[in-house]
Chain A
Amino acid sequence: MKPRLVWRKTVNAVMLSLTAVCTVITVAALFVILGYLLYNGSKSLDWNFFVKLPLSPGELGGGMANAIVGSVQIVGLAALIGLPVGFLAGVYLSEFEDKAFASVVRYVADLLNGVPSIVVGIVAWALVVVPMRQFTALAGAIALAVMLIPIVTRQTEQFLREVPNSLREGALALGASKWRMIATVAVPAGSKGIVTGMILGVARIAGESAPLLFTSLGNQFWGGLTQPTAALPVMIYQRAMSPYDDWHRQAWAAGLVLIALVLIANVAARLVLARGVSVPRG
């Protein structure tokens, strides 16, 4: 072979193997993170973590029962606000398209999606915390709902658009009115994708801490809708940044619980989708 060809073949082999190395590195990052969390978290996780309140620094033991309940409250309320709003807005974008208005809404939803979570926190603080003169779980829930709405809107729209038009036309040809067609044909046909999008959206906001830092704040005790309330991600942040070893231990345990929830949600969403979108795509 000519030296030039040898050189080209060497470059080919080297660069292609480098791309494989890049892939290995990136995928390995996930396993390193999971493995390390599992290692440290399982050492620290015990029953007390789920049922006991946090203790003051220096005392060994205690748990994060309040943060678990608080997270459920905040995320649950956020989902209660965000899912219906996002869903209906998504239905509008896909089914009642008024070209100009819909494309403005679509673009603005994408921009809202890109707003840094800490900025959402500031806005919720100004809208809820300042008028109520109190850090509350409600404020945290509103902050998370603001993040959830554009995610659910775009996902709902996307999956409704994958429903073939022939189904819609069939329903309309049979004499169904448009809203009956949407409620009984279009939405059920796209339901798997829509549910997937909702699960992923809720999983994403459940892990957010930045918007909660100055809305729901945190609490050593049980919170409530109109009180400062602890949430798992914020607790991880506070515990990890503290100087106490026992608190670090608890941060790892909380990290493991949080990542387990997020991964379960992601895999569950995959499974819902893998059962097949109930209509053939076309």
Chain B
Amino acid sequence: MATPVAAQVTAVRSPSQTGDIIARLVTLVFAGCILLLAGLVVLELWQGSAPARSHLGWNFLVSSDWNPVTDQYGALPFLYGTVVTAFVALLISVPLGLGAAIFLSELAPAGISSGLTFLVELLAAVPSVIYGLMALFTIVPLMREYVGPFLNATLGFLPFFQGRSYGVGYLPAALVLSIMTFPFIISVSREALLAVPREQREASLALGATQWETTWKVVVPYAKLGILGSVFLGLARALGETMAVTMVIGNAADIHVSLLAPGATIAAVIANEFTEASGKIYSAALIELGLVLFCLTIVINGFARLMIVATTRKGSKRS
């Protein structure tokens, strides 16, 4: 950490002190730009959604009736779709991601671990429209032809897997999101696990615990805040993800219990309808959806960062 060099130097008077002041001011202005940008984001979302907020009030959040023709806007189907797809995605990606993170931090030799981590992090660099393209031409036909009927036949007694599969729907969207979230879960959890002091492992092994028992009962609990932080980070990404979801969710403003049915998320409906939104209230309603999404991700990201900061500090302090 850069301890304030400034403090030690201010006493020294140099001829080019004006240069320092200018440099400080210039960089300060650009740092201020970031605050300005954030302010603009909030301001534009707030002002842009004003007509919808005054016209619809809190009803916006609890009504499930989305009908631009009659100027009825209820966000519930999109809130539902956003939460359900993100939740199912994490159900898949958390166990997978945590498993891989454990392997990479506890078992794999350092060289292999960093190589594999690089590959996993490349997954995070793949543009989301590419995930959408892949999913549209692989997962969607597979869902329609095989997975949907199979789920109907085997787990059809559960309400989640009833009804015809059209290929597009909540489940394929959740599958894509799970692939998109696990790079975050793996790389952040791995770092949290690596920050666990060696003595913790040695003490547990010395008491006769197997390696798995050590990992599961000592190392993972020690790193749990960081792991939780990685899950929240993945959740924030899943909630805000647009393109891949838009391409496979089916874009229907309905609420279905069945995961095989088509639905929509907040990001997907904005992507789909924004350019066509004629009428003040229609586009304001879409901007208000953006505002809701903004608030959701800000809160979840905030939590994630606090948790990650808490564990990495704890680890480095004791090691």
Residues of A within 8 A of B (CB): 8-9, 11-12, 15-16, 18-23, 25-27, 29-30, 33, 36-37, 40, 84-85, 88-89, 91-97, 101-102, 104-105, 107-112, 114-123, 125-127, 146, 149-150, 153, 160-161, 165, 168-169, 172, 175, 177-180, 182, 200, 203-204, 206-210, 213-214, 217, 233-234, 236-237, 240-241, 248, 251-252, 255, 258-259, 262-263, 266, 270
Contacts and interface: CB of A to CB of B under 8 A. Distances in A.
B27 A207 contact: no
A29 B2 contact: no
B202 interface: no
A179 B22 contact: yes
Contacts of A203: 125
Given A9-B210, A19-B102, A105 B127 contact: no
A114 B301 contact: yes
Given A117-B242, A240-B132, A178 B9 contact: yes
Contacts of B37: 112, 146, 149
B317 interface: no
16 contacts: A20-B107, A23-B104, A26-B123, A26-B186, A97-B6, A111-B298, A112-B38, A114-B301, A121-B274, A122-B270, A168-B5, A172-B5, A177-B20, A207-B125, A209-B128, A251-B133
B99 A23 contact: yes
Nearest to B269: A118
A118 B40 CA distance: 15
A22 B95 contact: yes
Contacts of B99: 18-19, 21-23
A237 B135 CA distance: 12
A37 B134 contact: yes
B127 A207 contact: yes
A105 B39 CA distance: 12
B270 to A, nearest CB: 5
Contact of A36 (B40, B122, B128, B138): B138
Q: Which among A21, A93, A118, A165 has the highest number of chain B CB atoms within 10 Å?
A: A118
B107 A259 contact: no
A214 B298 CA distance: 23
Contact of A96 (B6, B107, B247, B271): B6
Contact of B133 (A94, A96, A240): A240
Contacts of A123: 40-41, 44-45
Nearest to A265: B125
Nearest to A269: B125
B188 interface: no
Interface string B179-190: 100110010000
Contacts of B203: none
Interface string B276-319: 00000000001100100110011001100100000000000000
Nearest to B182: A26
Given A116-B240, A123-B41, A214-B275, A208 B127 contact: yes
Main secondary structure of the interface of A (DSSP, over half): helix
B137 A248 contact: yes
B294 A29 contact: no
Given A108-B38, A262-B126, A217 B95 contact: no
B217 to A, nearest CB: 12
Nearest to B112: A23
A104 B32 CA distance: 10
A85 B123 CA distance: 28
Closest 7 CB pairs of A and B: A207-B127, A116-B240, A22-B99, A92-B27, A179-B23, A114-B301, A19-B103
A241 B247 CA distance: 7
Contacts of A109: 34
B34 A175 contact: no
B128 A22 contact: no
A110 B210 contact: no
Given A94-B2, A262-B125, 16 more contacts: A12-B211, A16-B107, A19-B106, A27-B119, A95-B27, A105-B31, A105-B32, A111-B38, A112-B38, A114-B301, A122-B290, A123-B40, A161-B2, A236-B133, A237-B129, A258-B129
Contacts of B109: none
B100 interface: yes
Nearest to A210: B242
Given A22-B99, A92-B30, A116 B267 contact: yes
Interface in B2-40: 2-6, 8-9, 12, 14-17, 19-20, 22-24, 26-28, 30-35, 37-38, 40
Contact of B17 (A95, A97, A177, A236): A177
Given A36-B134, A126-B44, A161-B1, A118 B240 contact: yes
